[in-house]
Amino acid sequence: MQFLGIGVVAGLVSALLIGVIVKATPLALVLYLLAPLPVLIVALGWSHRAGLVAAATGTLALAVMSSPLRGLAFLISTALPAWWLGYLALLGRPSPAGAPGAMEWYPVGRLLAWVAVTAAVALLVVIILSSGDHAAYQERTRQLARAILQIQGVQVQEVEAGTGVSDADLARIADRVAGFAPGIMAMTFTLLLTFYLWAAARIVQLSGRLPRPWPDVPGAAMPRRILWGLSAGLVLAVAGPAYAGTFGVALSGAIGAALALQGLAAIHDRTRGRPGRTALLAGLYVVVFLTQGIALAALTLFGLADSLFGLRRRPAGAPKP
């Protein structure tokens, strides 16, 4: 029953990290973003039951100390995604072709696909819980987009001699930004969940408690079925009514981010054993950091090509590099 105690402690730590956001400081924001890590660490190091206890404890603590709505938001956006990914990461079965006692663990590529789907679903549920009516959500998003545009320097002013931005023009720009907002948030959430899973697994591995061996991360490739999910997301984004359209945008953004990560993994994989690999990868990360969205789009296209054409596929029985 050791998992009960460690789960309670992890849940309280996670709730505390969520609660520090009221300080409104850069450090508080960093701690807030690290809130899923305790749940993931105990789920990977002590079993998914410990992760479930941590999720329940954190939810109850926030519901009592803050508000039931905040506790529910923590459960949907932080605790359950962390527990679910920890549960999937430790799925395994006896290997049919391996030595006695050998295990076949859940593939990293499928885990990455689940990260994207989990991010999109969790984001949609949070949006529905926080907004209720879809019209209210749209209006709130427009106001937020308008405020961001004004902070960025797009000021409301009369159009004189073809210069400046009118109020109507700003409203149209805000509408377009609001339409893309779920996709941008889902992309960010997917990248964050992937980082949380990697960081938690590294921490647990260093402690010697990670049940599965460290996987071949550069060899990760999502199953081609994920492209059907991308197609469905794009269709819903264009033709879906109300929250169905919002989910389509979120799902498209989340899968796009997962494909970008797969594209990055493919580059790592294809450069293994080649001269100048370190310099090439260092330059790639510098470009990704400096160009941000442009590099992410290029990596997404490369990941899409990798899924469609199997750019890393090797002959059966060929040894890994």
Q: Where are the domains of the chain?
A: 127-185+217-312
pLDDT for the residue 30: 86
pLDDT for the residue 28: 82
* Distance in angstroms (rounded) separating the CA atoms of residues 84 and 44: 11
SS3 content of the chain, % helix, strand, coil (to 5): 75, 0, 20
Ranking 99-103, 120-124, 271-275 by mean pLDDT, the lowest is 99-103
pLDDT over threshold 80, residue 210: yes
Q: pLDDT-derived band of residue 166, with 50, 70 and 90 as boundaries? A: low
Backbone φ and ψ for 271, nearest 5 degrees, come out as -95, 0
Average pLDDT over residues 72-89: 94
Q: pLDDT-derived band of residue 265, with 50, 70 and 90 as boundaries? A: very high
Average pLDDT over residues 100-112: 87
The winner for highest mean pLDDT among 23-37, 108-122, 152-166, 213-227 is: 108-122
CB 249 within 8 A of CB 234: no
Torsion of CA 10, 14, 16, 19, to 10 degrees: -160
Q: pLDDT-derived band of residue 158, with 50, 70 and 90 as boundaries? A: very low
Average pLDDT over residues 59-76: 91
* Distance in angstroms (rounded) separating the CA atoms of residues 219 and 204: 21
pLDDT for the residue 188: 93
pLDDT over threshold 90, residue 192: yes
The per-residue pLDDT for range 287-319, each reduced to its tens digit, is 888 887 788 888 999 999 988 887 765 544 444
Q: pLDDT-derived band of residue 26, with 50, 70 and 90 as boundaries? A: confident
Lookup: tokens for 67: 């508000």
Average pLDDT over residues 65-86: 92
